[in-house]
Amino acid sequence: MSNGAKPHLTSDYSTFMNQKTFVIVGTGAAGIGAAEAIRANDRDAKIILIGDEPAGYYSRPGLAYYLTGEIPEEQLFPFSRSEFKNARFDWITATVLRIDRDNRKLVLDNGVVLDYDCLLLATGASARKSDLPGSDLKGVVQLDNLHDAREILQHTRRAKRAVVLGGGITALEIVEGLVSQKIKVHYFLRGDRYWGNVLDETESKIIEHRLLEEGVRIHYHTDAEAILPGKGGLFGRRSDEVAGVRTKEGEEIPCEIVAVAIGVVPRIELAKDARLEIDRGVLVDDRMRTSDPNIFAAGDIAQAYDPFARRAVLDVLWPVACDQGRVAGINMAGGDAVYTKEVPLNVTRLAGLTTTIIGAVSTGGRDDDTIGIVRGDSETWRTIPDALVSQSGFDVNRIRLMIGETVVLGAIVMGDQTLSRPIHQIVKDQVDITSIKDKLVDGKDVSGILSDFWRAIRQK
Amino acid sequence: MTFTSIFQKDKTKRSVLVEGQVVPDSARCVQCGICSFHCPIEIDVRRHAWTGQPVQASRCLTCGECVARCPRGVLRFERIDLFEK
């Protein structure tokens, strides 16, 4: 168990003969879910959480509400430090450099080498960086973690204008945050609509219309060519600060903030270096086990089989990460839990409009504003189902159903959320809707038909 | 507001207290904490959403602040059937 002259934590910790050491890399939702599950199943286990996030565990999706000023920063933390201490979780703020699978050791960037009996990789995903010229200027921001959110708020104190590049939920979270801080926002879209591979044309237009009402200027078919520095001078922007954006058409838009949200990349480098089986993420079985029986993976990096999409998919969704973490934790502690992938669901706010996205919803549109997956996203949503589309409502309250042979395969509920939960249940349980299929496809009074149908099911 | 309507309102509120509770749907929750932030008597509603447990605290006023404020529809009122087995 020794490892030369380097500090060696586990050997000091091994008080109990049979005490197992579980190491969790990543302190997000999946990591915490796993740590809790391990503790519930093994009272004596040594549980070590390693993360490179200095702020520890907080609600990443909550950053959107922190930006808009709806909650203060301290509200982002669901657990206090003392609660983790009481649960006897050991925290190490460090980066794991390497996994030595043969000897079951981890090498950290602070020189520490750790032994593990069982390892969970829950390293999450990080934002894709902008490769535009000028991306290193002060005022170029993203929304990946608490540090980024603080930085955005700090910049808004001095700024008047911002350009937002990218798509998906994160881009609009930033737009909303900036608008509520009284910043004039220019939103660039490369194509002719917002989030085209998940939303249909009407839904995109509803969102864009709301953005316009909030005073956001949308630039369609517009791509940035370079982020421009200031020219210095007594009152001007400094040469290391953002002063504007030049589009590919040559137009220059002055601004003090450039926000980039072009997608996220699962952090699979560790798994890759350790030669675990990977694809777009780390491949796991239905126990969240990787190709190494002593290593599990959960959360944004885990690529798990989806019975709906009929392939292994990535999800960057908080509740999915929690579930996967819990399943991994139970199995790591010697239990037997199976991860059954549920229909991917997200309830989010797009331009202030509550929107629920369930199952396979794509109508085959394109999205040129992001690369790969974004936060709050599921690859399953982009599955184009063999389905008839039922749509009702073309203003703020809208329901779109993707209707298969006998079941609803996916749905988007915008605005009024009364039917969001019933529809989720109908999709999840694959409820036979043959009796109302024709009426739904007809599209007249979809809400009424679904309400009656749901009531009848409940009564049964 | 008439004298009787004051009692009427009170009765309704009491009946809600007895018969209703706030129930979370954990699959929708992202632990943002808006619910706990707005609870007037500082019940940690978010923790209930994490564990999936209904808010059964006797102190809960069932005022509906958390239900209304949650941006993701996690919370709802559910009737407690006192005679359910």
Q: What is the CATH number of the domain that holds B75?
A: 3.30.70.20
Domain that holds residue B53: 19-79
> Does a structural domain hold residue B3?
no
Rounded to the nearest 5 percent, the helix, strand and coil shares of chain A are 30, 30, 45
Has residue B1 been placed in a domain?
A: no
Instruction: For chain A, list the domains and their CATH numbers.
Output: 9-125+265-332 (3.50.50.60), 140-261 (3.50.50.60), 345-459 (3.30.390.30)
8 Å CB contact between A65 and A161:
no
What pLDDT digit, counting tens, does each position of A252-296 carry? 999 999 999 999 999 999 999 999 999 999 999 999 999 999 999
Q: Does residue B60 lie in a domain region?
A: yes
Bridging pattern class, strands A311-316 and A302-306: antiparallel
Domains in chain B, number: 1
Residues of chain B with C-beta less than 8 angstroms from the C-beta of A69:
none
Is A319–B26 a contact, with Cβ atoms under 8 angstroms apart?
A: yes
User: What is the bridge-based pairing of β-strands A184-188 and A217-219?
Assistant: parallel
The answer to whether the CB atoms of B34 and A71 lie below 8 A apart is yes
**pLDDT of B14 over the 60 cut:** no
Beta-carbon separation of A65 and B27 below 8 A: no
The mean pLDDT of B42-53, rounded to a whole number, is: 95
Q: Residue A18 pLDDT more than 70?
A: yes
* pTM for the structure as a whole: 0.89
- B14 within domain boundaries: no
Task: Please give, rounded to a whole number of angstroms, the shortest distance from the CA of B27 to a CA of chain A.
Answer: 6
Question: Could you tell me if residue B84 is inside a domain?
Answer: no
In a domain, residue B75? The reply is yes
Do A348 and B31 make contact, defined as CB atoms within 8 angstroms?
no
Contact residues on chain B for A77, CB-CB shorter than 8 A: 33
Q: Is the pLDDT score of B9 beyond 60?
A: no
CA distance A240 to A94: 30
Tell me which of A294 and A391 has the higher pLDDT.
A294
Interval A104-130: pLDDT, tens = 999 999 999 999 999 999 999 999 999
Asked if A416 has any chain B CB less than 8 Å from its own CB, the reply is no
List chain B residues with CB under 8 Å of A318: 29-31
Q: What is the CB-side half-sphere exposure of residue B72 using CA atoms within 13 A?
A: 27
**A320 → chain B, closest CA residue:** B27
- Angle made by CA atoms A338, A342, A344, in degrees to the nearest 5: 140
Cβ-Cβ contacts under 8 Å, B34 against chain A:
62, 65, 70-71, 75
> Could you tell me which residues come within 8 angstroms of residue A138 by beta carbon, excluding any fewer than 6 positions away?
A238, A240, A241, A242
Between chain A and chain B, the number of residue pairs with CB atoms below 8 A apart is 65
| CA–CA–CA angle A111, A113, A115 (5° rounding) | 165
Distance separating alpha carbons of residues A40 and A185, to the nearest angstrom: 48
A70 — contact with chain B (CB < 8 Å)? Answer: yes
- The partner residue sitting opposite B30, judged by closest CB among A318, A342, A354, is A318
Contact (CB, 8 A) for A382 and A198: yes
Query: Has residue B4 been placed in a domain?
Result: no
Chain B nearest C-alpha distance from A318 (Å): 6
Give the confidence band of A309 by pLDDT, cuts at 50, 70, 90: confident
pLDDT digits (tens, 9 = 90+) for A56-79: 999 999 999 999 999 999 999 999
Helix orientation angle between A29-41 and A318-332, rounded to the nearest 10 degrees: 30
Residue B73 lies inside a defined structural domain of this protein: yes
